[in-house]
Chain A
Amino acid sequence: MCKNDCKDEKMKALDLVLDAHDHDSGSLITILQKAQDIHGYLPAEIIYYVAAQTGTTPAKVMGVATFYTQFRLEPVGKYLIMLCKGTACHVNGSDRIEAAITNELEITNGQTTKDGLFTLKNVACLGCCSLSPVMMVNEETFGTLTPEKAISILNDFRNRKEEEA
Chain B
Amino acid sequence: MRIVVGEGSCGIAAGAGKVYDALQTAMNPSDSFELGITGCIGMCFLEPIVDIYEGGDLLARLVHVEAKDGARIAEAVRGGDLSSIEDLKIQEEDAGFLNKQTRIALRNCGIIDPTDLNSYKARDGYKALEKVLKTMTPEEVIEEIKTSGLAGRGGAGFPTWFKWNAARGSAGEEKYLICNADEGDPGAFMDRAVIESDPHNLIEGMLIAAYAIGAKEAIVYVRAEYPLAIIRLEEAIRQATEAGLIGENILGTGFSCKFRYMAGAGAFVCGEETALIESLEGKRGMPRLKPPFPAAAGYKLKPSNINNVETFANVAWIINNGGEAFAAMGTEGSKGTKVFALTGKVKRGGLVEIPMGQTLRHVIFDIGGGIRNEKKIKAVQMGGPSGGCIPENLLDTVIDYKALSATGAIMGSGGMVVMDENTCMVGMARFFLDFTSKESCGKCVHCRIGTKRMLEILTRIVSGKGEEGDIELLEELCNAIKDGALCGLGQTAPNPVLTTIRYFRDEYEAHIKEKKCPAKECVELLSYKIDPDTCKGCTLCARKCPVQAISGEVKNPHAIDQDICIKCGQCYTLCKFGAISVE
A residues touching B (Cβ–Cβ < 8 Å)?
24-30, 32-33, 60, 63-64, 67-71, 82, 85-92, 96, 99, 103, 123-132, 134, 139, 141-144
B248 contacts the other chain (CB 8 A): no
Quick one: given A88-B343, A92-B344, A143-B10, are A128 and B282 in contact (CB under 8 Å)? no
Q: Are the C-beta atoms of A87 and B189 separated by less than 8 Å? A: no
Nearest Cβ distance between residue A138 and chain B, in whole angstroms?
10
Count, chain B residues at interface, CB 8 A: 57
Q: Does B47 contact A (CB under 8 A)?
A: yes
B431 at the interface (CB under 8 A from A): yes
Asked if B225 and A124 sit within 8 Å, CB to CB, the answer is yes
Q: Is B184 interfacial (CB 8 A cutoff)?
A: yes
A27-B282, A32-B265, A67-B267 known; A130-B45 Cβ under 8 A: yes
Interface check B144, CB cutoff 8 A: no
A125 touching B282 in the complex, CB below 8 Å, given contacts A87-B343, A88-B343 = no
Interface pair B186/A131, CB less than 8 Å apart: no
Are A68 and B267 neighbours in the complex by a CB distance under 8 Å? yes
**When the two chains form their complex, are residues B343 and A69 in contact, meaning their CB atoms are under 8 A apart?**
no
Residue of A nearest to B418 (CB): A91
The answer to the question of B44 belonging to the interface, with a C-beta cut-off of 8 Å to chain A, is yes
Q: Please, how many angstroms separate the alpha-carbon atoms of A141 and B189 in the complex? A: 15
Other-chain contact of A129, B262, B268, B284, B349 (Cβ < 8 Å): B349
The one of A25, A70, A91, A128 that contacts B10, using a Cβ cutoff of 8 Å: A128
Known interface pairs A91-B419, A130-B349; A124-B262 also in contact (CB < 8 Å): no
B148: min CB distance to chain A, Å: 28
Knowing A69-B266, A71-B265, A85-B186 are in contact, say whether A123-B225 is a contact too (CB < 8 A): yes
B343 contacts A130, CB within 8 Å?
yes
- Separation in Å of the B146 CB from the closest CB of chain A? 32
Residues of A within 8 A of B44 (CB): 128-131
Q: Provide the residues of chain B in CB contact with A127, threshold 8 Å.
A: 9, 183, 188-189, 192, 223, 225-226
Pair B282/A130 contact, Cβ less than 8 Å = no
Listed by A's residue number, 16 A-B pairs whose Cβ atoms lie within 8 Å are A29-B262, A68-B285, A69-B265, A85-B435, A87-B186, A87-B381, A90-B186, A91-B343, A91-B417, A124-B184, A125-B187, A125-B189, A125-B225, A129-B188, A129-B189, A130-B343
Partner of B263, one of A33, A64, A69, A132: A33
Q: Are A124 and B344 in contact (CB under 8 A)?
A: no
Please give 9 more A-B residue pairs, beta carbons under 8 A apart, in addition to A91-B419, A129-B417.
Answer: A28-B283, A29-B279, A30-B263, A71-B265, A88-B344, A125-B185, A127-B225, A130-B10, A131-B47
Interface status of B439 (Cβ within 8 A of chain A): yes
Which residues in B have their C-beta under 8 angstroms from that of A87?
185-187, 343-344, 381, 384, 415, 417, 431-432
Give complex CA distance A139, B231 in Å.
12
